[in-house]
Structure 1
């Protein structure tokens, strides 16, 4: 079989298989592979099955074929909301009940009915899920080393006598071995029946697998060698090689990364996974940030590690893992980039690019609280561009504040900290809602603080960015005054009165303040429907906000006013100079 024709961002595999009757009149082995088409490749993945009907049973051939065909058909029919484990186990339980019932309906004893071994493997995203009962086997070849991933369910009476103690259809109480294995590109899996592995040593199987031949040829060579070695059983081998892997999904990332141990608290000079700590940047009760150097290439990075205080807190670990996953999903020049090295981490942490510059709180202090209006608008536009990139991935930032925006000396803005991000479709834990999602009180939208309020959407991030803009324009003032921090109910918020920004900074045009006011409205439905519409109004006078046109020009458009005054003064100076010559 040729490699599946899928995009490089998806799981891509190559398959080879051989299933022969051998010296027997009837082939009671069965094998099959199904590669999900379209969206099924993401939600269901690739399923591979090998079954060996028990020779002593009268319905062995039907049993093995039912196991393979039934698993491949029923697994892909299960709801997408079910996990792989739930889907496969429920399918196997249903097949087992049918096989057991069929045998008893024909008056056959347990071991004489419809009985078969079964080894099934599902590859979804970057994980292999293995389900096994009986004495068929699953092996993995990785980096030239072969490993048996299943154990035989066979009781040995003597050197010549053994019997299966677990199989499909043997009894109603189904005990299936389950295992998860993280995938790597190049992994090659072998599923085979006892007609192969009982007649070939592991060294011989490994030698055949390492031969540089196509998988169909290799699968055929395994069955032929088993027969040549004297196998008197049916012989089956199924090979599956991982050619390309997609990005991890959230559930998978949490499972993989959550298994890593917490790193110790680090000091300058200490080394971890080829990274040397240069400086402790932040050390809080929830996490640590270190400036580190990659000793392999000299690159300066920032390492974030979880706090040892939460070593046993599953919700905290899930949230920490989510930060890295979110950072890897999105790429934008105004978002801090999560860095992935070739070397695999041995502890739970993640790396980010090191940014030159200062946060906006420090920047505002350097400007003595009076930055130019045009400069602030340029900064806000970059923040909006960054957050819109998150929104395109159905992700809310939820903690936009001055300290979470870095600006370089050249004026480039970078939004940092994915710790409070919310991704559509992911289940939030109680701790997420109580501690993380609220972000920072000064900048968070009212809907996060009001009970029974509207569910937060992209307009919540719009509110926070508008808060940042107002703070920068006014030198750190709040648009609702001192009552803002105390408000926690719908009544409190609707009682607040907006303070125009131009009262603190005369250079802010009335129309620009009107755009700010709309983005800062308490009700999300009253804000701008899109970020782009808001940004247009921040740069272009909207007639809707010019109702106060009877105000003096200095209040309506202070920039134009002072430009006009400057021009008039210049003309006056020229006239005076000319008159002085007379």
Structure 2
């Protein structure tokens, strides 16, 4: 059994000398699989003393964070999940203040600070608004990891420069730090840390190492004894064990299933009857099969016989179905719901009767612009579904796009997908390029990670190829394994290969396949829009001279012209002799 993430938590809170405790705190350790995909969460909120209802805000902020965070997609990163939840809570608190009697005096409304800690994999993720604090025990001292958002006007006067619920939007501080066994974090409100020396906290944590609740109570008591007149709250969390990158396995139970044999037509396999093999490669074997219980046609995919002993390959094989189950789009292939237990390691998907875009392009060389627009728009909608879940397909190519009989496009094959929430758990393993070189963005060759901009590059290459029958950088891009080398490549204008491509469409394609990700469209929707609606700067732009668009062709033509001139001069010279 792989080593799990385990922690010990201690907590204590007191109203102190105040009649009402406006602090609120909480922690949640979920069961698997959420323990792996979402981690362990702690949160602490401190209401502001100028408000008589800020304890409601504190309680709402903590409860919302601890419940809503675990309702976000498992595919999302911790940062995206937590920030979206906190932003939603901030909007709700602000709206409640606007509906209350304190809409014109926000300092008396639903306002609080918030500090949250999410421990996932081998990292701790910190989120912070206000002046509560998060510390880490570093040797014999406490290291403050958060910054106080308190503006001090004088020794006696200060105010919160940032708090939850004050404005419609909120700026959230974020920090990610690596963790190891024995690491210890402390969350505390200002009523505590302003009246307790660091050395007391460190000594108390050492003296009560086997009872962190007692340590938290002792720290709260020390703050009270030292004259604190505020609410007092402390949370302490110690990392007991951290799973290594090689031991984190979302699919541990499934991956233990035996590997299936190569299948033959008419064979019965785990409740299916094999009809025929659809595709076989060094990475997988794909069959058309019929479900014996329902008669439904399905696509059944089994691991490659050559790679089945590779544990990283097996994890990625199961990730394909895991990712597909979290996407809901008519333009993305859907996995089949298997009601019965599996006896072998395999995945099943819906069967789509149609043809791949690769075959369609063979049948329709240099397709009409309007047809290309329609297909690209559908592929883009499928990519939107990936990107909304913080997934990058990483292998978008004509062979991985299906067109059914009704003309609906579906993206298939998620074997190379990158999932932000899974990537946080540790390295995917190796430096292997998972995509297809002709359609891969150059940042992959430079050893950089992929992003939604990388999928945009692949989509731009497909659009270019559909219109011209060529690749925008020829075959050179596949050999550009260094960033500096790839920067020397030149875009070949689509209009040079298909006169029906308008200049403004060509400019849109050129931007989408820019070698520099920063120069591509910031959003895929902008690229799709510009394929159909001419931008003013693209529409008015004059075509670039041949020397800029295709330097090699320009030099070849210039050399040929010079050669003709030399031949002509030699002929004249010979005739005059």
TM-score (norm 2): 0.53
Partner of 1:532: 525
1:385 aligns with 2:381: yes
1:473 aligns with 2:467: yes
Whether the 8 Å CA contact 2:440–2:458 is kept in 1: the answer is yes
Distance in 1 (CA, whole Å) between partners of 2:270 and 2:63 is: 39
Q: Give the number of the structure whose alpha-carbon radius of gyration is greater.
A: 1
1:396 aligns with 2:389: no
State the 1:256 CA deviation: 2.5
- The secondary structure found in structure 1 opposite 2:379 is helix
Distance in 2 (CA, whole Å) between partners of 1:461 and 1:550 is: 27
1:282 to 272, 279, 283: 279
State the 1:318 CA deviation: 1.1
Distance in 2 (CA, whole Å) between partners of 1:392 and 1:378 is: 21
Distance in 2 (CA, whole Å) between partners of 1:438 and 1:486 is: 15
Whether the 8 Å CA contact 1:78–1:87 is kept in 2: the answer is no
- The secondary structure found in structure 2 opposite 1:375 is helix
Distance in 2 (CA, whole Å) between partners of 1:252 and 1:411 is: 39
- The secondary structure found in structure 1 opposite 2:436 is coil
Sort the Cα spacing of 1:97 and 1:440 in 2 relative to 1 into closer, same or farther, 3 A. same
1:370 aligns with 2:370: no
Whether the 8 Å CA contact 2:480–2:486 is kept in 1: the answer is yes
Distance in 2 (CA, whole Å) between partners of 1:315 and 1:82 is: 17
Whether the 8 Å CA contact 1:438–1:449 is kept in 2: the answer is no
State the 1:260 CA deviation: 1.3
Partner of 1:118: none
Partner of 2:440: 444
Sort the Cα spacing of 1:304 and 1:550 in 2 relative to 1 into closer, same or farther, 3 A. closer
State the 1:97 CA deviation: 7.5
1:296 aligns with 2:279: no
CA offset digits 1:363-400 (Å, max 9, x no partner) = 01112x12111001110000000001100000000000
CA offset digits 1:10-35 (Å, max 9, x no partner) = 99xxxxxxxxxxxxxxxxxxxxxxxx
Distance in 2 (CA, whole Å) between partners of 1:332 and 1:284 is: 27
Unmatched tracts of structure 1, length 5 or more? 1-9, 12-35, 46-76, 103-173, 175-249, 553-582
State the 1:490 CA deviation: 2.4
1:497 aligns with 2:499: no
Partner of 1:162: none
State the 1:438 CA deviation: 3.7
Sort the Cα spacing of 1:505 and 1:80 in 2 relative to 1 into closer, same or farther, 3 A. same
TM-score (norm 1): 0.52
Whether the 8 Å CA contact 1:420–1:439 is kept in 2: the answer is yes
Whether the 8 Å CA contact 2:121–2:426 is kept in 1: the answer is no
Distance in 1 (CA, whole Å) between partners of 2:369 and 2:442 is: 26
State the 1:252 CA deviation: 6.5
Whether the 8 Å CA contact 1:357–1:409 is kept in 2: the answer is yes
- The secondary structure found in structure 2 opposite 1:276 is strand
- The secondary structure found in structure 2 opposite 1:351 is strand
Distance in 2 (CA, whole Å) between partners of 1:479 and 1:534 is: 16
CA offset digits 1:329-358 (Å, max 9, x no partner) = 001000000111211211111110001111
1:544 to 527, 532, 537: 537
Sort the Cα spacing of 1:424 and 1:291 in 2 relative to 1 into closer, same or farther, 3 A. same
Distance in 2 (CA, whole Å) between partners of 1:547 and 1:433 is: 47
Distance in 1 (CA, whole Å) between partners of 2:427 and 2:118 is: 26
State the 1:78 CA deviation: 8.9
Partner of 2:262: 265
Q: Which has the higher contact order (CA 8 A, sep 6+)?
A: 2
1:419 aligns with 2:406: no
- The secondary structure found in structure 2 opposite 1:442 is helix
Sort the Cα spacing of 1:89 and 1:400 in 2 relative to 1 into closer, same or farther, 3 A. same
Partner of 1:347: 344
Partner of 2:109: none
1:81 aligns with 2:74: no
